[in-house]
Chain A
Amino acid sequence: MRLAAPLGLTAGLWYPPTRQSTEDAIAAGHVDTRTARALGYTELPVSEDTAPPDMAVAAAQAVLAHGRCDPLELSLVLHACVHHQGHDAWSAPHYIAHRLGADRATPIGLLQQCNGGAIGIELAATRLQGDPDAGPALVTTADRFLLPSWDRWLTDYGMAAGDAGTAVLVHRREGPHHTDLVLHALATTAAAELEVMHRGDDGLDATPLGHGPMIDVRRPKKVFVRDQGIDVFHKIAYEKVTAVVAESLADAGLAPDDPRLRYAVLPRLGVKALEQAYIPPLADSTPAELLDLGRTSGHVGAGDLNANLADLASGDLLEPGQYALVLNGGGGFTFTAAIVSRPGAR
């Protein structure tokens, strides 16, 4: 997505105070050592007491304050999640908007699996470009992964899930709004033929949790591996990641080896999954240093890309004028790459 003009981002992240170390998880029998080693996480945040929409509110309040944005200015509140938000037949995005005082915003929920937060930023950018009167847009994500419905270590392959809320304010760099990062380009591509990875050979006639009391993503993925082989996924992921990296860099006006491109930031997946599906196409596409920010957070549901933006925004990883490519993917499948820079130097 080529932007008419770069946009401003302010990004933040909320973690619960409790964490489970991988060592403790192994000792408790929550995960075996060989799987823990393949995942490569050192610990995971665990939110026993705070529900996902309240995590999103906590992240968003800090971001709005830091971004010097009155909630009444917001035109959109886009909320993405993977798992249950704490109530049925109810709108978490509306709850978040109301708690923030974003009374003029349109709250919208995004069911995009693990790329939902990235898609939220893309939709926010589209709104800002398409409607000159639209105020800033807020993108939140929040998930927690608790038993009995989700086993953070065992529900899926290739990742363990951490609980977190994220918030990203997207604005035009006008007025008083603070800019942590400048968004130069976004590219997204889908591989809808891979929806079967998360469905297997199931029909669509189940009741909620009708396939079992705990969500088991491994079960349909086993069917996919049996029927098609994991190499099919790796081949498609290679092509799609290569495509979004090339498109986003071109739209940002950067060559793959531009010295200003400091990092290529990875999704917060397990190490082995990254090595098999994401690192090969990324490393073949750009010599930028690979950056993995997920070892102490786990995979944070719909918010990996947004959490990575938050860490780039708050830390000193990027010097003024330096760029990062932030890559993500999510079940469906959808792949997004965003190009951001630290403002202050040209």
Chain B
Amino acid sequence: MSSMHERFAAILVEKFGLGADEISPTSTLEDLEMDSLALVELVVSVQKEFGVVIDDSELPGDATVADVIALIGARQQEAA
């Protein structure tokens, strides 16, 4: 697992009470029961942790953890 994955998973565990064993790169936001308000909280936490801005509308239910991490990485590269 990448450190990006570990840092993102830590948000899901600490902020949303998910079990670490529930979170894999192929887990979708739907699998993780992330509803619309949870997504807003998630993008706020992602901004604090990774310093990038993502809009919650960019996170459809079928987006996987790997997809979200890829989006974070892309935003970091754009900002670099």
Using a CB–CB cutoff of 8 Å, the interface residues on chain A facing chain B are: 32-35, 37-39, 154, 157-158, 218, 221-222, 225-226, 229-230, 272
Contacts and interface: CB of A to CB of B under 8 A. Distances in A.
Contacts of B11: none
Interface in B25-78: 29-30, 33-38, 40-41, 44, 56, 61
Contact of A230 (B33, B37, B61): B37
Contact of B44 (A32, A39, A229): A229
Task: Classify the secondary structure of A's interface with B.
Answer: helix
A38 B33 CA distance: 8
17 contacts: A32-B61, A34-B33, A34-B34, A34-B61, A35-B35, A38-B35, A38-B38, A39-B35, A154-B36, A157-B37, A158-B37, A221-B37, A222-B40, A225-B44, A226-B40, A229-B44, A230-B41
Interface of B: 29-30, 33-38, 40-41, 44, 56, 61
Contacts of B44: 225-226, 229
Contacts of A154: 36
Contact of B35 (A221, A226, A229, A272): A272
Contacts of B34: 34
A225 B48 CA distance: 13
Nearest to B38: A38
Nearest to A38: B35
A218 B38 CA distance: 12
A272 B41 CA distance: 14
B37 A33 contact: no
